[in-house]
Chain A
Amino acid sequence: MFKKLITGALSAAIALGASFTVVHAEDELFIPMLSYRTGPFGGNGTPFANGFHDYLAMLNARDGGVGGAKIVMEECETAYNAQKGVECYEATKGKGALVYNPLSTGITLQLIPKSPVDKIPVLQMGYGLSAAAMGETFPWTFAYPTSYWSQMSSILKYIDSNGGLKGKKIGFIYLDVGYGREPIPLLEKVAPEMGFELAMFPVAGKEMQAQSAQWLNVRKERPDWMIMWGWGAMNATAVKEAAKTRFPLDRFIGNWWSAAHADLVPVGEAGKGYIGANFSGIGTDFPALQDVMKYVVDAGNSQADPSTVGHVLYNRGLYNAVLVSEAIRAAQKITGKTVITGEDMRLGLENFVLDQARLAEIGLPGFTGDVKGDCKDHEGAGGVFLQQWNGSDWEKITDPIPPMTDVVQPLLAAAAEAYKADKPEWKGQVCK
Chain B
Amino acid sequence: MFYREAGQFKTSYAEYLQALPLREDKVGIAIWLLLAVFYVPFFGLPGLEYTFAMNAIMIPVLIFTITALGLNILVGYTGQISLGTGAFMGVGAYACYKLTTYFPDVNIILIILASGFVSAAVGALFGLPSLRIKGFYLVVATLAAQFFLEWCFIRVEWLYNYNPSGAIEVPQREVFGIVVTGAAASPATRYLVVLGILIFLTIIAGNLVRGRIGRSWMMIRDMDIAAELIGVRPLRAKLSAFAVSSYYCGVSGALMVFLWLGAAEVESFDVNHSFLYLFMVIFGGLGSITGSYMGAAFIWTFPILLKELGKRVFDIDSIIMENVSLVAIGMLIVFILIKEPHGLARLWQLGKQKLRIWPFAH
Interface residues, chain A, with chain B CB atoms under 8 Å away: 1-2, 5, 12-13, 15-17, 19-20, 22, 35, 37-38, 75-77, 79, 81-83, 86-87, 90-91, 93-94, 105-106, 109-110, 112-114, 116-117, 129-130, 176-178, 181-182, 184-185, 205, 415, 418-419, 422-425
* Smallest CB separation, B18 vs chain A (Å): 28
Q: Are B164 and A182 in contact (CB under 8 A)?
A: yes
Is there contact, CB below 8 Å, between A425 and B319? no
Cβ–Cβ < 8 Å partners of B104 in chain A: 422
Known contacts A37-B319, A38-B322: A177-B48 contact under CB 8 Å: no
User: What are 15 A-to-B residue pairs whose CB atoms are below 8 Å?
Assistant: A2-B347, A12-B309, A17-B47, A22-B49, A37-B319, A38-B326, A86-B56, A91-B52, A94-B50, A112-B263, A117-B183, A178-B265, A181-B164, A415-B164, A422-B171
| Residues 291-350 (chain B) with a chain A CB within 8 angstroms | 304-305, 308-309, 312-313, 317-319, 321-323, 326, 339-340, 347, 350
Interface size in chain B (residues, C-beta < 8 A): 54
User: Is the beta-carbon distance between A77 and B182 smaller than 8 angstroms?
Assistant: no
Please measure, in the bound complex, the distance between the C-alpha atom of A305 and the C-alpha atom of B165, giving whole angstroms: 35
Q: Taking the complex as formed, is B166 at the interface, i.e. its CB lies under 8 A from any CB of chain A?
A: yes
CB-CB under 8 A for A16 and B312, given A109-B265, A113-B169: yes
**Assembled-state Cα–Cα distance A2/B348 (Å):** 9
Asked, given contacts A109-B165, A182-B165, whether A90 binds B268 with beta carbons under 8 Å apart, the answer is: no
CB pair B172–A83 under 8 Å, yes or no, is no
B192 proximal to A (CB < 8 A): no
- Least Cβ–Cβ distance between A90 and chain B, in angstroms: 4
Closest to A92 in B: B52
The residues of A that contact B262 with a CB separation of less than 8 Å are 86, 110, 113-114
Q: How far is the CA of A423 from the CA of B170 in the complex (A)?
A: 8
Quick one: which of B164, B169, B261 has the most chain A CB within 10 A? B164
Q: How far is the CA of A20 from the CA of B351 in the complex (A)?
A: 30
- Inter-chain contacts of A94 with B (CB < 8 A): 49-52
Are A106 and B172 within 8 A (Cβ)? no
Smallest CB–CB gap between B311 and chain A, Å?
9
> Which residues of chain A are near B323, meaning CB under 8 Å?
38
A contacts with B: majority SS: helix
State how many angstroms separate the Cβ of A403 from the closest Cβ of chain B: 17
Cβ–Cβ contact A82 & B309, under 8 A = no
Question: B169, A109: Cβ atoms under 8 Å?
Answer: yes
CB of B101 within 8 Å of the partner chain: yes
Tell me which of B260, B321, B322 has the highest count of chain A C-beta atoms within 10 A of its own C-beta.
B322
Contact (Cβ within 8 A) A75 B183 = no
Please tell me if the beta carbons of B183 and A86 are within 8 angstroms of each other in the complex.
Answer: no
Contact B305 A77 (CB under 8 A): no
Take A75-B317, A110-B263, A181-B165 as given contacts and tell me if A15 and B322 are in contact as well, using a CB distance cutoff of 8 Å. Answer: no
**B167 touching A178, Cβ below 8 Å:** yes
Q: Are A87 and B164 in contact (CB under 8 A)?
A: no
Contacts of B347 in A (CB 8 A): 2, 5
Chain A neighbourhood of B171, CB < 8 A? 422-424
CB contact between A176 and one of B49, B154, B340 (< 8 Å): that residue: B154
B 88-119 binary contact with A (CB < 8 Å = 1; else 0): 00000000000001001000000000000000
In whole angstroms, how far apart are the Cα atoms of A182 and B260 in the complex? 24
Shortest C-beta distance, A257 to chain B (Å), equals 15
Known: A83-B261, A422-B171. A20 touches B47 (CB 8 A): yes
| In the assembled complex, B152 has its CB within 8 A of some CB on chain A | no
Extra pairs beyond A87-B56, A181-B166 (8, CB < 8 Å): A38-B322, A76-B318, A82-B261, A91-B52, A110-B262, A177-B267, A182-B165, A418-B163
**B261-284, CB under 8 A of A: which get 1 and which 0?**
111111110000000000000000
Interface string of B154-188 (1 = CB under 8 A from A): 10000001011111011110000000001110000
What CA separation (Å) do A113 and B173 show in the bound complex?
Answer: 14
**A129/B48 in contact, CB under 8 A:** no
A-chain residues with CB within 8 Å of residue B101 when the two chains form the complex: 422
Contact between B305 and A90, CB atoms less than 8 A apart: no
Instruction: Judge whether B354 is part of the interface by a CB distance below 8 angstroms.
Output: yes
A12 in contact with B305 given A75-B317, A75-B318, A425-B182 (CB within 8 Å) = yes
